[in-house]
Structure 1
Amino acid sequence: MTRNVTFAPGEFYHLYNRGTEKRKIFLNRQDYERFLSLLYLANGMARVDIKRQGSTLSELLTQDRDEKLVDICAYCLMPNHFHLIVRETKDYGISKFMQKLITGYTMYFNKAHERNGALLQGKFKSEHANSDRYLNYLIAYLHLNPIKLFDPTWKEHGIKDQERAEKFLDDYVYSSFLDYSGYDRLEKSILSLDALPAYTSIPKDFRSSITEWFDGQGSTLSMQQS
């Protein structure tokens, strides 16, 4: 995986990081929802201001914000790590967004769980989606990641129960899988799906492309950070 990527406006990137010492970074629903709210609120030039600790996700995702720093095209939150696919829209947009996101979430997490120190394994990791084929691969990889929560070896040995896997993905609310599948939900405000290339047909071809992975191609997934 490439760590020192130069971000260029108009290009797509896979960003990810995991908890220090592989610790869990999401311990409950409130943690997941705070990260989701920060994906939305940190994606702007203004300082993030969550006035009330008890603010609901729906309240936070409907707050006004100014010009976006990046286009968030996909995301997946796992218990001890996260994945994002973003497009740089302006110089230093990704760097500014990730600094706000990670700082904001670490401050929240440490206060909520009475701890100190770093939460993540250093600087976030990144790789350039330098071809249409690779971008499609990353979108599939990211959205299939939650399957490992109930079938840890599916990437090496294939999916044993396709029906269960599809249901699990439909029930997993902490990724953009449902938005790609055509569901209308508030979390869609996090995303800029119109920033994706024209060949990416959502949701028309998304479920069929996922089924192709179910039918055997998934065994080729071998990302280090999974």
Structure 2
Amino acid sequence: MPTSLHKILSDIEYPDCDGLPMAESDAARDYLIYGTEALKLHFQHRSDVYVSGNLFIYYEQGSPKAVVAPDVFVVFGVEDKQRLSYKVWEENNKLPSFILEITSKSTRSEDQGTKKGLYAYLGIQEYFQYDPTADYLKPSLQGLRLLDGNYFPILPQADGSSLVLFSEVLGLELRRLQDGSFRFYCPETGERLGSLMEIEESRQAEREKSQKMAERLRQLGVNPEDL
């Protein structure tokens, strides 16, 4: 690359934010947080997997307008580290393999139109959408897989009253449960992936259960430490 062109490209600014507040419903924000936290925890032992959400992805060097900010995304083959934005040309041209958008009234058209076309063009292998209110997507959880440059629906698996879609990229199930909520599951163990808050709440519940059991044993004259 000629020095002058290199300098021009290096002088271009790529903003880390658009200066606008994130205007999301409570449900959309909660699922954005859940998705990023649950996947971060799931891949925490892999240093070559980057999980993030609502972060600017710049996909064309020299063009700050060539940017998109998926709600949740996963990139394989890059360093797991903090970033202010994700510039594809600085990451060995690695793009996300998995994207999840939390769809709402204000984002439905873009999620199913502009972003769908862009993600297919970029070669995003899997694109999922979830509508927490079930008002804008029927069914409220949908998945697409890229084949020969085009997206095709991921067929749901039968699992009682739950809607289950399998992500080949993640090796995980995305489930819309009977109450309409959404969670990731490990198909091998059936274990549900939790957020940081959910895991801490589960641990606290176990501690309280153990404390009550120990107190009950003491009332019966048994020292819990002797068991």
Common fold: TM-score over 0.5: no
Q: Which has the higher strand share?
A: 2
Class of the TM-score when normalised by the shorter of the 2 chains: under 0.3
Could you state the TM-score of these two structures normalised by the residue count of structure 1? 0.24
Instruction: Say which one has the larger Rg.
Output: 2
Bigger helix share: 1
